[in-house]
Structure 1
Amino acid sequence: MTLKIPEISWQQCFDRLSDGAVLVTVNRRLARSSAARYAEYRLERGETAWQTPDILPYGAWLVRLFHDLLYSVPLGEPDSRVQPVLMDELQEKLVWESIIAESEAASRMIDVYATARMAQEAWRLCREWKVQVGGGMAWSAPDPAAFSGWAESFEWFCRRSGFLDRARLAEYLSAPAADGHISGVPELILAGFDELAPVQMDLFSAFHAAGTRVCRLAWPVRAGAAVTLVAEDDAAEIRAAAGWARRHVEADPGARIAVVSPRLAADREAVCREFEDALCPNAILSSHPPDRQMFNITAAPGLSAYPVVAAAERILDIAGRQGTEVFEWSRLLRSPFLAGAETEFGARAALDAQIRAHGDLFFPVTGIIRMARSLAGKSATDPDLRILSAVLEKLRTLARGMPARQAPDQWTETFSGLLDAAGWPGQRNLSSREYQTVSAWQQGLEAFARLVPVSDPLSRSEARRTLSRMLSETPFQPEQPDVPVQIMGMLEAAGEEFDALWIMGMHHEIWPPPARPNPFLPVSIQREQGLPHSSPARELAYSRQITNRLLCCADEIICSYGGSDGESTRLASPLIDHLEQARGPENGVGYWRQMQESAEIESLADIAGAGVPPGGDVPGGTGIIKSQALCPFQAYGRYRLGARGLEIPEQGLNARDRGILVHRVLELLWNQICDHQRLSAMSDRELNDGIAEAVECAIRKLAGMRPDTFTDRFTRVETDRLHNLVAEWMAQERARAPFAVKESESRMHVRIGDIGLYAFADRIDALDTGQEVIIDYKTGTPSPGDWFAERIAEPQLPVYSLGLDREPGGVLFARVRKGEAAYLGIAAADGLFPRVKGIMDDGRVAKDCESIQEVMAQWEQKLFILAEEIRTGHAAVSPVSENKACRYCDLAPLCRVWEVSRT
């Protein structure tokens, strides 16, 4: 006979709690709010002290019953049944993963861990809804058949080991509850249960049969009017809800405001951002999140998402790896949760910049220690990184002593030792949120240690992988005092009452949700026995029940949805289409938007910085001239202020590194060959031998600085690439008129107007005519036309040519590029360079110039203008074009060019 559960009111519930009844809630949230509501009830009666009411969420109540049963048999009295060991969730998960990983089906799986989670959920459904696993045609399909085998293995493991899993706990407790072996429960009050699974009903029936009264807390019924509101899109909907919540809090700080959404997990980040902007505007002014917020949101992130835990995981990973990615080192060096973080803050920032500039993507601990020591003493104001070096040395020593394999509880001790050596969680006082997070981390380590009964000894990587996965899958949210605004999912609002409620996402695409039957259970059986998510009809009925309940739990109710997803128009959910439609939402305006929209912004055209003393030198060589031509502010910020963004390392070699290698190989090669006559006399074999020697020497030098990049395989590939590239280029050199290499990597001090700077030329050749030719190697796609733009965008060779005693016989780019090798530029006469015409015959490059002398005069005039701008401190944000000046510039946060362009 089905148990009929009577309903009682909150007032009756409070009276019975005072008499020893147990209130069992559907979730933790309702348990907390019920306890708070009970406290208000006692305070209203003028009481100042009372016995704590017995209020527990369903899962915690089952565990307590299990322990009560364990200690209910007197010592020395034999019991007819041996009490099993209750598994925790992590232990169960690991057993399922092990069973599935060792099965034949594992080889066909993309993600064993995701499969294990789904199989564990299927097992829970089977136990709660009394589904018999296996047998019959329905279980012959591949997925149900595989699950049937896994379930059999799981049951066998539990029986052999004396374990009881959580899915069977209610079933296990039913018999002793009916026999009266679980005493001390005069009355059970159920709260927030939209439905009861068969096994839950059996358990409550067992208590009822043993004499325990079982009743249900009546759903709240409020006479509030509900309306529908359509926003432009999802973002506008969230913003409107946040503004609505703020207005309610301002009108009545003690009101209970709730926002409910069926898609909260997916929208959590956007919801947090908009509600923080609306309700906690001061958070934008602080580098740390405030300890107390005005709202609380469920769909908590995993524990590993919190910075203090992420830092702990990073320390453990770095200690155990041969090499760690630069970006991970960067995060650790800037972390406040490492010993000496505040003392050595500036020096660690400098070290971060140095390892990024080094070029390697991975660094071992020893490499960072070496770089930290090399940085010591370079600045009299910065500490010498002694604390960091000592921490890394300790980690390296401990890592060396780690065993190859050990049990989870031993790994827990090892990991704790590594964190202690690193000074985690840092020297500063932790905030309340951080303190709670550290406590949750400790609990996570304890849970990991409890894996010993179900786990073989683990390697370091296996232990870290298991712990990391556990932390990422453990939802955590720091507790805080009561807040006026609660943001939650549809099921989490069960049994709650509010003064005002906003239900988001109520459009036809997601509410009611589509059916999602578990793939490991036969669909026919799921539908026949009415399992959750098994059919559209069941989802509709269940969603209608939830909707009706929500529409009766507040005095003011708004149901909203975004009218468009950017591609298609949405309709209201059929479960709310009977509601009256309200006018469009008032968009919430956050703090920073208010500041922007209300402030009267003063415009100040400050385009000049400090000038250069007459006759003084400027830093940066021709780079400052190039930047001045592209954008005056870029030149001032980069070369006068020294502002530069952090380097972004790449895998292997970046374009700059490859260019440096080409320059070095050609320099070494021409140091051997010296002139065109010897080049022409060399056989192909001799030339190839010379190229090979130069390539080997150039790579050896760079490989010595970056051994992690230059593995044997990478070195072979890069050697072949360089050899082929240079061999192709030397064919261009052979086709030239006779010449001799006069200088390589030449440096010259040049004065332009009232400023001095250093200019560089990759090579200067002497021709038979007695003239000199200036050459600049380029591995990209240079354009000589940049020399003749209104503002010279490639000034290196023009500046160098102005420093010569006489006009050059040619100024050229040497384009050393696979399949595109060529000389580009201007020459005094035809035939000096392959496919380069004399200046008299080539009007494409040096327009309006009939001689190199005229070219030089034009360059001098344009360079003088740029030099004068530099001397006077002209620093206007005036890029010649976004593509040329701004595309690779890292000063945008300083010059705010994008903000300026929008005004």
Structure 2
Amino acid sequence: MKFLSHLANLTDGTVVLASTERVARHIKLQAALLQAVGGKKAWFAKGQIMTITKWIESTWLELMPDEQLLYPVQELATVKSVIDQSGLLPANMISSTNAARRVGVAYSDAYKYRVDMDLDRFRFKEEFEAFFQWKEHLDAHCQAKQYVFRAHLPALLLQALQSGQVDVPERIIIVGMLDLNPAEKAVFEALKSAGTEVIIVPPEGDKATPRLVRSHNNASEMLEVAQWVAKQLEPFVDTPQAAPSLAIVVPDIRAYKGPLLDALSLHTSPGSLLPAGPDGETRAPWDISSGATLGSRPMIRAAMDLLSITPDKADPETFSRVLRSQWIGGHVGESATRALLDVWFRDNMGLNMGGKDFLRAIGSYKGDAVPDFRKRFGGLLEKLISGEQSRYPSEWADHVSEALNDIGWPGQSELDSANFQTLNAWAEALALFRTLDAQLGTVQYERAFMWLREIVDTRQFQPRISHLAPVSILGYEDAIGLSFDALWIIGASNTVLPGRAEPSPFIPTDLQINAGIAEASSEGMLTYAQSVVGALLSTSEDVTVSCPSHNEKGASIGASELFGSWPVVAPTLETKGDFLDDLMGKLDRTVFHIETIPPVTPLELTDLKGGVRIFKDYAESPFFSFVRNRLRVEKFPEPIIGLDPRIQGTMVHLVLELFWKVIRTSKALKAFSDEALKTEVERYTQQASEQLLYKLIWRYGMKLIMLEQRRIVDLVIDWLELEKKREHEFEVIGFEEKHDIMVGDVPLTVSLDRRERIFLDDEQIETRIVVQDYKTGQEMRMNSLNASSLTEPQLPIYATKIEQADDVAQIDGIVLAQVNQKSLGYHARSNFSASLVAGKKPRAEDVDTSEKWEEQKDAWNRQLDAMSAGFVGGNGTLDLDGKAFPIGYEYIAPLTR
């Protein structure tokens, strides 16, 4: 490093200025080592080391100015306020925040690069003219409020230097800067004139000849980097202090951080995958410079998720994360029940639920299952409901602190070093949020939350590690000005170096080019990229540069020619890490044991939960009956839009039950007029709603429930009109009757929807007893009741097994009642008729005589007993005939291998 001699001789009058915080920190460590080697124990008192922007800011603030220096978020709020009130924004703009960001960048560039603001150059284009006026408004606003943007500081400091107000340092050393902007150059020229020795250490020096690697894809590139790191560090496992300094530089840390750390963890430091040690650190041999924001920290994400929930608005996924979060008080004692509650929510979630709906729903789940969470969450919502409509940000900051404290954030566990730093950074973010009072005034909670999120999502934050990390992971610009024993440059594609030109849409492009803004033209970006490449190649004598030939989608990627001529694509590396590689290929697949399913034990029979479903699943496949009813595997849940069909079916069942419990007979039904029948059905629908639907207002809302009530009333009336047309008079004699029966060796508890007595003569002497089952779903194929193709065993079980109960008379027939809008009708099989509605023509295959009925029952009995024997005996065959697994069961396919 070319300035090591300067660092070794730092004096109180020396200031070292770096391009970024990462470079400044690295220089501080270098200075510490050099001073210590020289025997200077008080080295930290010598000189100042900081970024250029920080030095300009602190030097101006030392003058005790009257103006207020704005933080970046205050600048954004000021710009947004000005452009919102200007009347120059398009009428169809949804949000002006992003526009304010772009305007703020253009406004800063105008000062940093001293753009010529000639009105004639900004005419005849709407964006240019608007920006010219916005800049004038911002200048006037800042002057009136005595606000200072950071872009104003170089010019203000220059005025102070020229008027002799600044105590200039003896010497300034600038490190890692590719180029100073015109405003900064003017400051340092004035410092020279004032007698300061200004030394600019050029970032480009003796350039290394890089080793170029063309990887197959991103995954191969990460693997090669990981293996390179492992090879470099392997000789120093026992002496980590002597390990070489390595750097991995990437174009975008946010994009590369995940896959890079996955590869390094698996192939370089598997120990980092284990739980953290007592101090909370995993002791990985790498240090990430930045790239992450405060809002990306799990602790802060939990806080922001919680604060995003209001009484009237709550994203379901956000609430799920809050409910399961370890950062919420009471998690240790209620984690299991909170997880079960979350599963229940996923099965019963409604549309457009707010915080109040979730709170009511918690009360509907198994009583008081999560009392601590319910109390804390209810307290949070109460504060929002009873609070003032609009408050200053500083007042909202107090509310946020109280809300998080009341709900027990950040949890009960002791914080490790990284999370302790995160908590301090959160306190600083809240302090910054409080400063927005002047810019925002009083605002409603949602807008205040938006600005708090802006702060945490834009603040760069990476916890400092306390152990030695020989590997530094940096962005391209962060590495400029540093030195390493070896360097690997990742992702060196021709779309990154040089990058794409993106001139500001608010300043004429030719003015941007003339001012020296690199992003304004392809030529500027090429020049900038050449400077970056030269600087990176000067940071080490051992440099490797890589670029994948294809991305994860298979699209071709071109390599940057600024590094030289690239070789052909390297051979594909296929490895899963040393540990797994040692096991790969050693499994003898010719030796295996054939698995068999054991028979159902007597003890297991007493614990079966499936009911009739055991036989329905068995009819579909013995394997499904085994995994669902013995292994307790459930079908993967399907998303439901609107009302749950199960609830709709239950409501129809309940309304009909309430109706027939009172009306009882067909004669009483026929006595109703149309208007009276509608009134009666509406009354029972209301009673059923009180038992079920009204308890689900939190899930569906009152409007959807009212629509469902209207649908049920119309459907039930249509069904009862069909009941009036039946050939024989009848009397309903049983509702939802439960019976314990045996199907072979399998014990079941069944519930009959409806049992009725049919009168075959006018004197009502000759009668028959039938069991009726309501089907409110889609139309069912009637041949599914045939013994040879039995897939709906419920009614056959009733017909053949229910007579085992002592209190049940002989069953003379079964009736499938299809109650839905698409299909209203009956399908009957009995010893007296196959039709309940008059006028239906008989068919040869009908079961309508005593002889046919007994034959049908015998066939059902044989089939059901065979199913029972197969299930109990451990039959788990699966024959899909080459078809895929049914929807919802794909995830259990590995069990069949």
Please tell me the TM-score bracket, short chain as reference.
0.7 to 0.9
Q: Structure 2 residue aligned with 1:429, among 392, 408, 414? A: 414
Superposition map of 1:761-840 within 5 A: 761-768=752-759, 770=768, 772-787=770-785, 793-805=791-803, 811=814, 813-823=816-826, 829-832=833-836, 840=844
Structure 1 residue runs of 5 or longer lacking an equivalent are: 1-7, 71-81, 378-383
8 Å Cα contact 2:76-2:101 kept in structure 1 = yes
1:174 aligns to 2:158 (yes or no): yes
**Could you tell me how far apart the structure 1 residues matched to 2:324 and 2:665 are?**
53
Work out whether residues 351 and 372 of structure 1, in 8 Å CA contact, stay in contact via their aligned partners in 2.
Answer: no
Counterparts of 1:316-355 in structure 2 under 5 Å? 316-318=307-309, 320-322=310-312, 324-325=314-315, 327-353=317-343
| Bigger Cα displacement from structure 2, 669-678 vs 706-715 | 669-678
The one-character-per-residue Cα deviations of 1:98-154 (angstroms, maximum 9, x if unpaired) are 222333215332331111111111111111110134611434311122222222222
Provide closer, same or farther for how the CA distance between residues 391 and 373 of structure 1 changes in structure 2, counting only shifts above 3 A: farther
Task: Give the corresponding residue for 2:35.
Answer: 42
Relative to structure 1, the CA distance from residue 606 to residue 147 in structure 2 (aligned partners, 3 Å threshold; closer, same or farther) is farther
Is the contact between residue 764 and residue 772 of structure 1 (CA under 8 Å) also seen in structure 2?
A: yes
Structure 1 residues 544-553 or 151-160, which shifts more? 544-553
Question: Equivalent residue for 2:547?
Answer: 560
Indicate yes or no: 2:179 matched with 1:213. Answer: no
For residue 473 of structure 1, report the CA deviation from its aligned partner: 2.3
* Count of residues in correspondence between the two structures: 867
Query: Partner of 1:342: helix, strand, or coil?
Result: helix
1:281 positional shift: 2.9
Say if 2:511 is the partner of 1:525.
yes
Structure-2-length-normalised TM-score = 0.86
Give, in whole Å, the separation in 1 of the partners of 2:539 and 2:25: 18
Corresponding residue number in structure 1 for 2:557: 570
Deviation at 1:673, TM superposition (A): 5.0
- With over 3 angstroms needed to count, the CA separation of the structure-2 counterparts of 1:103 and 1:291, relative to structure 1, is farther
Please tell me the residue identity of whatever aligns with 1:94: A
1:753 aligns with 2:744: yes
Deviation at 1:395, TM superposition (A): 3.5
Aligned counterpart in structure 2 of residue 407 of structure 1, from 379, 392, 397: 392
More displaced 10-residue stretch of structure 1: 199-208 or 705-714:
705-714
Paired amino acid for 1:556? V
- Per the TM alignment, residue 751 of structure 1 is displaced from its structure 2 partner at its CA by 0.3
Moved more, 409-418 or 45-54: 45-54
User: Does residue 98 of structure 1 match 2:81?
Assistant: yes
Is 1:293 the counterpart of 2:284? The answer is: yes
Shift of 1:635: 5.3
Report 1:487-886 matches (<5 A).
487-554=473-540, 555-563=542-550, 566=553, 568-581=555-568, 583-584=570-571, 586-587=573-574, 589-590=576-577, 594=581, 597=584, 600=587, 605=595, 607-608=597-598, 611-613=601-603, 616=606, 618-629=608-619, 652-671=642-661, 673-676=663-666, 679=669, 682-709=672-699, 711-730=701-720, 732-734=722-724, 736-738=726-728, 740=730, 741-768=732-759, 770=768, 772-787=770-785, 793-805=791-803, 811=814, 813-823=816-826, 829-832=833-836, 840-841=844-845, 851-868=852-869, 870-871=871-872, 874=874
Aligned position for 1:79: none
Structure 1 distance, partners of 2:244, 2:738, is 75
Alignment of 1:22-41 (within 5 A): 22-41=15-34
- 1:46-445 map, 5 Å: 50-52=43-45, 53-70=47-64, 83-104=66-87, 105=89, 107-133=91-117, 135-219=119-203, 221=205, 224-252=208-236, 254-286=243-275, 290-297=281-288, 300-318=291-309, 320-322=310-312, 324-325=314-315, 327-353=317-343, 359-360=349-350, 362=353, 364=355, 368=359, 371=362, 375=366, 387-392=372-377, 394-395=379-380, 398-399=383-384, 401-445=386-430
Deviations 1:695-740 (A, max 9, x none): 3333333233123345443233222322333344445545543353
Correspondence for 2:892: 897
Question: What one-letter code is carried by the residue in structure 1 that aligns with 2:451?
Answer: T
Give the Cα–Cα distance (whole angstroms) in 1 for the partners of residues 18 and 718 of structure 2. 78
Q: What is the DSSP-based 3-state SS (H/G/I as helix, E as strand, rest coil) of the residue aligned with 1:9?
A: coil
Q: Which amino acid aligns with 2:892?
A: V
Q: Is the 8 A contact 1:737 1:832 kept in 2?
A: yes
**Cα offsets for 1:373-407 (capped at 9, x unmatched):** 98578xxxxxx755445534643554455333222
Q: Distance in 2 between matches of 1:569 and 1:850?
A: 75
- Residues 332 and 835 (structure 1 numbering): CA distance in 2 closer, same or farther, change over 3 Å? farther
Q: 1:43-98 deviations in whole A, cap 9, x for unaligned?
A: 4446655235521122222221122222xxxxxxxxxxx53111111111111122
1:418 partner letter: A
What amino acid is the match of 2:559? Answer: A
Post-superposition shift, 1:436? 1.4
- Taking the aligned partners of 1:687 and 1:299, their CA distance within structure 2 comes to 72
Greater Cα offset, 498-507 or 385-394: 385-394
- The 8 Å contact of residues 826 and 836 in structure 1, kept in 2 or not, is answered as no
Change (3 A) 1:592 1:665: farther
Give how far 1:221 is off: 4.4
Structure 1, 145-154 or 354-363: larger mean CA deviation: 354-363
Deviation, 1:457, is 1.6
- Distance (whole Å) between structure 1 residues aligned to residue 875 and residue 294 of structure 2: 48
CA distance in 1, matches of 2:303, 2:126: 42
Task: Work out whether residues 259 and 503 of structure 1, in 8 Å CA contact, stay in contact via their aligned partners in 2.
Answer: yes
SS of the counterpart of 1:185? coil
Alignment root-mean-square deviation, CA: 3.9
In 2, are the aligned partners of 1:23 and 1:190 still within 8 Å (CA)?
yes
How much does 1:443 deviate? 0.7
Q: CA deviation at 1:339?
A: 2.4
C-alpha distance in 2, partners of 1:781/1:774?
16
Hey, what's the Cα distance between the residues in 2 that align with 1:128 and 1:107?
31
Once the two structures are TM-superposed, the CA of residue 39 in structure 1 deviates from its matched residue by 2.7
CA contact (8 A) 1:191 1:495 kept: yes
Distance in 1 between residues matched to 2:423 and 2:707, nearest whole Å? 48
Aligned to 1:73: none
Amino acid at match of 1:490: Y
Q: Is the 8 A contact 1:69 1:181 kept in 2?
A: yes
Residue aligning to 2:462: 477
Structure 1 residues 850 and 596, CA gap change in structure 2 (3 angstroms): farther
Contact 2:311–2:381, Cα closer than 8 Å, also in 1 = no
The letter for the 2-side match of 1:262 is P
CA distance in 1: counterparts of 2:718 and 2:221, whole angstroms = 62
Stretch deviating more after TM superposition (567-576 or 795-804): 567-576
2:749 aligns to what SS in structure 1? strand
Q: Tell me how far apart the structure 2 counterparts of residues 795 and 239 of structure 1 sit (CA, whole Å).
A: 56
- CA-to-aligned-CA distance 1:225-264 (integer Å, 9 cap, x gap): 4233333333333343334333333355623333333344
Whether the aligned pair in 2 keeps the contact of 1:808 and 1:852 (CA below 8 Å) is: no
Distance 1:818 1:422, change over 3 A: same
Over 3 Å counting, the alpha-carbon distance change for 1:747 and 1:387 in structure 2 is: closer
> Secondary structure at the residue paired with 2:565?
coil
